[in-house]
C-alpha cells in the first residue's frame, strides 16, 4: 500500500537563495513563503527522511500559497509560477517514486493559467494545480473562469483549493490567528457553495476538486445550504431566489463530487466528515510542515477506533491514488 499525502507545502530554494543574496525575489521579501520556518525549504533528501519517519511514501507537492500572488501584475506572477513549477519538477523527476506535484498558476490571467497548466501537465508531468479560494477577491464561478474549468476538465487535472487570504475574517480582525483558524475554513465553504450554486459542477461534471483542510465548514454547514436552497421557492424570502432558480438539485447532492483532506485534528471531526461525504472522498492531507500540521497523521488515522480498516486504507492510499491517477 502506497501512502500518499496530498496536502503539503514547499518554499522553493530559488526564492530562499535570492532572499539571502539580495533580500528580494521579484519584489517579494522574506515575509513570503514562511521563510522563517526552515523545514519548508529543506532538501528533497531531508524531506524524504522525514516522510519515512511519518510513514508517508509520497508527497504530492504544492508551493506555499505566499507565491500565488494574484494581486501582482500578471507578467510577474507568470514568471513566479513558472520558476516555482520548474523547481517542483526537479523534485518529481529526480524522485518520481516519492514526489508528484500540483502546479501554481497566474490565475489573474486565465489564458496564461491555461498555458502554464498545459505545460505542467504535459512537459512536467504534474497531476494538476493548486489555487486559492479567490482570485484577488473574485470567486471561481465568475464567467471569466469558465475557459479555465473547461481546460481543467479536458486535461483531467486535479484542482486543490487552499486559502491564500481570508475574504471573511482578515478585513475584520487580524488578531488571535482567526484569519487562519476560522477564515480558512469559511473560505472553503464559500468555494464549495459558489462552485455548486454557480453551476460549475453541473457544467463540468468530470472535475476532480479537492478542498483542503477537510473542506472547511462545508460538511457542517450543508444542511443550512439545503435549507436556503428550499427557501428559494418562498415568496417572502427573495434573498434566496437565485439559490433555487440556478440549481436543480440540493447542495448536499454535490458533497460526493468533491474530495476532502483528512486535516481535521480530532477523531470526531474526521468521523463526521466521512459520514457526510463518504469514505471514498477523503484523502490523507497533513499540511506538512506548517504550524497547523496534522501531527503523526498516518499513525493517528490507523489508531482511530471509529474507522474501519477499509476506511483507513481508502484514506491513506486508495483514494489519493484514484484522485491523482497513480
130: domain CATH number is 3.20.20.140
CB 113 within 8 A of CB 145: no
Residue 25 backbone dihedrals phi, psi, to 5 degrees: -145, 110
Nearest CA to 33 among 305, 290, 308, 301?
Answer: 290
As a whole number of angstroms, the distance between CA 211 and CA 179 comes to 17
**Would you say the pTM of this structure is higher than 0.85?**
yes
As a whole number of angstroms, the distance between CA 132 and CA 317 comes to 25
pLDDT tens column, 121-173: 999 999 999 999 999 999 999 999 999 999 999 999 999 999 887 777 777 88
- How many domains, in total, are found in the chain? 1
As a whole number of angstroms, the distance between CA 240 and CA 227 comes to 10
As a whole number of angstroms, the distance between CA 243 and CA 250 comes to 10
The confidence score (pLDDT) of residue 236 equals 64
Q: Which domain holds residue 108?
A: 4-324
CB 262 within 8 A of CB 270: yes
Residue 63 backbone dihedrals phi, psi, to 5 degrees: -75, 150
User: What letter does residue 25 receive in the DSSP assignment?
Assistant: B
As a whole number of angstroms, the distance between CA 226 and CA 242 comes to 13
Geometric angle at alpha carbon 271, from 269 and 274, rounded to 5°: 110
Q: Is the pLDDT of residue 61 over 90?
A: yes
pLDDT tens column, 229-244: 888 766 566 777 777 7
Amino acid at each position: 500500500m502506497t501512502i500518499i499525502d496530498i496536502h503539503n507545502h514547499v518554499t522553493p530554494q530559488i526564492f530562499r537563495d535570492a532572499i539571502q543574496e539580495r533580500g528580494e525575489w521579484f519584489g517579494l521579501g522574506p515575509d513570503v513563503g514562511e521563510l522563517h520556518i526552515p523545514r519548508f525549504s529543506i532538501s528533497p533528501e531531508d524531506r524524504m527522511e522525514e516522510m519515512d519517519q511519518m510513514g508517508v511514501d509520497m508527497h504530492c507537492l504544492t508551493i506555499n500559497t505566499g507565491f500565488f500572488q494574484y494581486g501582482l501584475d500578471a507578467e510577474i506572477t507568470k514568471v513566479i509560477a513558472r520558476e516555482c513549477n520548474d523547481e517542483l519538477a526537479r523534485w518529481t523527476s529526480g524522485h518520481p517514486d516519492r514526489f508528484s506535484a500540483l502546479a501554481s498558476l497566474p490565475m489573474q490571467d486565465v489564458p496564461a493559467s491555461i498555458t502554464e497548466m498545459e505545460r505542467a501537465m504535459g512537459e512536467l508531468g504534474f497531476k494538476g494545480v493548486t489555487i486559492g479560494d479567490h482570485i484577488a477577491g473574485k470567486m471561481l464561478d465568475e464567467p471569466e473562469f469558465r475557459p479555465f474549468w473547461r481546460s481543467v476538465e479536458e486535461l483531467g487535472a486535479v484542482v486543490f483549493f487552499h486559502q491564500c487570504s481570508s475574504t471573511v475574517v482578515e478585513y475584520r480582525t487580524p488578531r488571535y490567528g482567526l484569519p487562519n483558524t476560522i477564515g480558512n475554513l469559511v473560505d472553503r465553504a464559500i468555494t464549495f457553495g459558489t462552485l455548486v450554486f454557480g453551476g460549475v459542477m453541473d457544467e463540468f461534471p468530470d472535475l476532480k476538486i479537492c478542498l483542503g483542510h477537510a473542506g472547511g465548514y462545508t460538511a457542517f454547514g450543508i444542511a443550512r445550504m439545503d435549507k436556503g436552497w428550499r427557501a428559494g421557492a418562498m415568496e417572502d424570502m427573495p434573498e434566496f431566489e437565485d439559490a433555487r432558480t440556478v440549481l436543480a438539485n440540493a447542495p448536499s447532492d454535490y458533497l460526493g463530487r468533491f474530495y476532502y483532506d483528512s486535516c481535521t485534528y480530532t477523531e470526531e471531526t474526521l468521523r463526521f466528515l466521512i459520514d457526510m461525504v463518504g469514505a471514498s472522498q477523503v484523502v490523507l492531507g497533513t499540511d506538512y510542515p506548517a504550524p497547523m500540521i496534522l501531527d503523526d497523521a498516518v499513525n493517528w488515522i490507523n489508531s482511530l477506533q471509529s474507522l474501519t480498516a477499509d476506511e483507513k486504507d481508502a484514506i491513506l492510499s486508495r483514494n489519493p491514488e484514484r484522485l491523482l491517477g497513480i
